[in-house]
Structure 1
Amino acid sequence: MLGFQDPVADAIGLLRPRTVIGPSLRAVGTWALRFDPFLHVRIGGLVRGTCWLVLEGHEPVLLHAGDTFMLGNPPSYVLASALDASPRPAGPVLAGAANGFVWIGPESEDDLYLCVGHIAFDDQNAALLTDLLPPLVIVRAGDPHGYRLGQLIDHLATEVGNAAAGGPLVENHLAQILLVHMLRAHAGRTDRPTGWLGALNEDGIGAALRAVHADVAHPWTLQELAGISHMSRSAFAQSFKNHVGVPPLEYLIHWRMSLARDALARDTLSISELAKATGYRSESAFSTAFRRVVGTSPRTFRDEARV
C-alpha cells in the first residue's frame, strides 16, 4: 500500500533529500562572496554578527544574529559585510576550508559566524516542494518561529567540523528539521496558495489531505472528501483550490503520479501492482493517467530510469 498519514513527511520522504552542510564562514573586515545559482534549496543562518544578503531581483536584506534564511531554486546571490564590497566567487574560497570552517581575515571572537547548507532533491519529484517556494524566505530572530530556528542553526553550526561519532547523520537530520520549520514559518505568513503545505493549517482541508495520503488507493470522490471536511461539495472544492492552488481530484491524481514515479524509478512494484496501489482498476487506466500527467508511459519511464 502506498500512502501514509502526514503530507509533509510523505512529500519530503518522496523527495529523498540529500543534505550538504558547510563549511561555516567566519569573517572580519570587508568581504563579499558571490554564490552561483543552485537547484532546489539553500538554507542558513547567522550565529553571530551581521551581513547583507543580495539576491538578484530583490532588495538587499541585512541579516542579524539569530536570523534564518531559505532560498528556493536561487539565482546568483551575494553575502557581504557591506553593500559596496566587491564580491569574489565563493567556490574557491569555500574550497579552502579547514576543519569545517572558512576564515576571511584574522581569527577573532568578534567575527561574523554564518552556517549555510544546501538540500537537493530527487529530480523526478522536486517540484512537489520547489514549486511552492519563493526565491527568498527570511525568518527574523524575533519572529514567532525565530527562536526555535535560531537554536537549530546554533546546534547545526556546533556539529560542523565536529569529529564526534555520527556527526554527518546529526547534521543531515538537523538540516531537514530546519527545513520543515522554515516551511511552517513560510506557510503561516503568506497569502498566496502554498499547496499541501499551507492547506494543512486549515482544519477541514487538512483533514481531507491527511485522508488522501493515508489511503491513496481509495476511490475518493468529491462528496467523500467534502464530508471529511464538514463542508458542502461546492464550498469544499472552492476552499481547496484557494488554499492548494488546484482542484481536489487533480491534487489526488498528481499525488498518485508522484508516488508512481518514485516506485517506477526504484522498480519496487510491477506496473499492474502499482496501478492497484494508486487506486486504478486496470493497468490501462493507470497508464492513461500516468501518460497524461508525466508525458510518457509507465513502462518507458521505468526503462529510462533503469538506464
Structure 2
Amino acid sequence: MLGFRDPVADAIGLLRPRTVIGPSLRATGEWALRFDTFLHVRIGGLVRGTCWLILEGHEPVLLREGDTFMLGNPPPYVLASTPDASPRPAAPVLAGAEDGFVRIGPESEDDLYLCVGHIAFDDRNAALLTDLLPPLVIVRAADPHGRRLGQLIDLLATEVGIAAAGGPLVQNHLAQILLVHMLRAHAGRTDRPTGWLGALNEDGVGAALRAVHADMAHSWSLKELAEISHMSRSAFARAFKSHVGIPPLEYLIQWRMSLARDALTRDTLSISELARATGYLSESAFSTAFRRVVGSSPAQFRNQARQPARAAANGKAEGG
C-alpha cells in the first residue's frame, strides 16, 4: 500500500527530507548574523538566553529561552542581540565552528545558546508542504507544545556538540520529529493554515482526510467520504473545498499522482502494480489520469527519472 497513516506522514515521506543542523551558536555582547535565503525550511530554538529574529517584511521578534521557530522558504533574516546591531554574514562565521560550536564574545554563563538548522526537500514535491507554511512560525516555551519542542531543541544541540557514533542519523531524526511537532503546533492554532494541514483539525473533513491517506488503493466515492465525515455530500464537498482549496476527489487524484511520481522515480513498482496501489482498476485508466496531472505517460516519466541515475553510473564507470 502506498498510503501512510495520515497526510503529514505522506508528505514527509514524499518530501525525502535532507537535514543539516548547523553548529550551535554561543554569544555574548553585541552581535548580529545575517542568513541568506534558503529553500525550504529553517528550524531553530534557544537553549539559553534571548535574541532577536528579524525577518524581512516583519516586525522584529524577541526569542526567549525555550522558544522554537520555523521559517518557510524564508527571505534573508537576521539573528541578533539587539534589533539595531549591525549584522555580518553568517556563513563565514559558522564555517569557523570548532567541536560543533561557534562562539562570539568571551565565554560566560549568561551567554546565548542557539541551535539552528535547515531541512531541504525533494523539489518535485516540496510545494506539498512549503505552500502551506507562513514565513515564520514561533512556538513559545509556555505554549501547549512548547515544552516538548524545547526538549527536542535541547537534545539536538547536545547531539551537535558531541562526536558520538551515529550522530548525523540522530540529528536527522530529531530534526524531522521537531518539524512534525512544529507543524502540529501551527495547525492547532486559531489562525489555522489553509490546505490539508489546517483541515486535519476539522472533525468531519479531518476524518475523511485520514481515511483517504490510510488507504489510497480504495475506490473512494464522494458519498463514502461524506458518510465518514457525518455530513451530506453537498455539505462535505463545500466544507472540504473551503478548508483544503480543491474538491475532495481532485485532492485524492493529486495525492495519488504524487505517490505515483515518487514510486516511478524510485522504480519500486511496475506500472500495473502502481495502478492497483493508487485505486485504478486498469493500467490504462491510471495512465490517463497520470498524463492529465503530470503531462507525460507513466513510462515516459519513469524513463526520464532513470536518466540521471544512468548518467551517474556511467560517469562512475568511466572514472574508474
TM-score computed with the length of structure 2 as normaliser: 0.92
Aligned CA distance change for structure 1 residues 4 and 84 (closer, same or farther; 3 Å): closer
Quote the residue 1:7 is aligned against.
7
- How many equivalent residue pairs? 307
* CA positional deviation for 1:280: 2.0
Give a deviation string over 1:53-97, Cα, whole Å, max 9, x none. 111111111111111100001111111111221111111111111
Given that 2:133 and 2:193 are in contact with CA atoms closer than 8 Å, whether structure 1 keeps it comes out as no
Quote the residue 1:147 is aligned against.
147
* CA positional deviation for 1:262: 0.3
* CA positional deviation for 1:205: 1.7
* CA positional deviation for 1:190: 4.5
Distance of 1:155 and 1:237 partners within structure 2: 43
Give a deviation string over 1:125-182, Cα, whole Å, max 9, x none. 1111111101100111111111111111112111112122322222111111111111
Identity %: 87
Quote the residue 1:116 is aligned against.
116
Given that 1:222 and 1:248 are in contact with CA atoms closer than 8 Å, whether structure 2 keeps it comes out as yes
Distance of 1:193 and 1:74 partners within structure 2: 17
Quote the residue 2:46 is aligned against.
46
Aligned CA distance change for structure 1 residues 261 and 196 (closer, same or farther; 3 Å): same
Counterparts of 1:102-141 in structure 2, within 5 Å, are 102-141=102-141
* CA positional deviation for 1:192: 4.8
Deviates more, 1:38-47 or 1:237-246: 237-246
Give secondary structure in 2 for the equivalent of 1:256: helix
Give secondary structure in 2 for the equivalent of 1:286: helix
Give secondary structure in 2 for the equivalent of 1:42: strand
Distance of 2:173 and 2:193 partners within structure 1: 28
Distance of 1:252 and 1:55 partners within structure 2: 36
Given that 1:193 and 1:242 are in contact with CA atoms closer than 8 Å, whether structure 2 keeps it comes out as no
* CA positional deviation for 1:29: 1.1
Quote the residue 1:33 is aligned against.
33
Quote the residue 2:163 is aligned against.
163
* CA positional deviation for 1:222: 0.5
Distance of 1:115 and 1:136 partners within structure 2: 17
Give secondary structure in 1 for the equivalent of 2:128: helix
Distance of 2:42 and 2:74 partners within structure 1: 8
Q: Is the counterpart of residue 183 in structure 1 residue 178 in structure 2?
A: no
Q: Is the counterpart of residue 220 in structure 1 residue 220 in structure 2?
A: yes
Counterparts of 1:1-307 in structure 2, within 5 Å, are 1-307=1-307
Task: Kindly provide the amino acid, as one letter, of the partner of residue 158 in structure 1.
Answer: T
Give a deviation string over 1:200-220, Cα, whole Å, max 9, x none. 222222221121112212211
TM-score computed with the length of structure 1 as normaliser: 0.95
Deviates more, 1:285-294 or 1:35-44: 285-294
* CA positional deviation for 1:10: 2.1
Given that 2:265 and 2:306 are in contact with CA atoms closer than 8 Å, whether structure 1 keeps it comes out as yes
Distance of 1:82 and 1:188 partners within structure 2: 31
Task: Kindly provide the amino acid, as one letter, of the partner of residue 179 in structure 1.
Answer: L
Moved over 6 A (4+): none
Distance of 1:156 and 1:41 partners within structure 2: 16
Distance of 1:148 and 1:196 partners within structure 2: 24
Given that 1:193 and 1:245 are in contact with CA atoms closer than 8 Å, whether structure 2 keeps it comes out as no
Aligned CA distance change for structure 1 residues 34 and 193 (closer, same or farther; 3 Å): closer
Given that 1:24 and 1:157 are in contact with CA atoms closer than 8 Å, whether structure 2 keeps it comes out as yes
RMSD: 1.4
Given that 2:56 and 2:76 are in contact with CA atoms closer than 8 Å, whether structure 1 keeps it comes out as yes
* CA positional deviation for 1:298: 2.1
Task: Kindly provide the amino acid, as one letter, of the partner of residue 150 in structure 1.
Answer: G
Task: Kindly provide the amino acid, as one letter, of the partner of residue 5 in structure 2.
Answer: Q
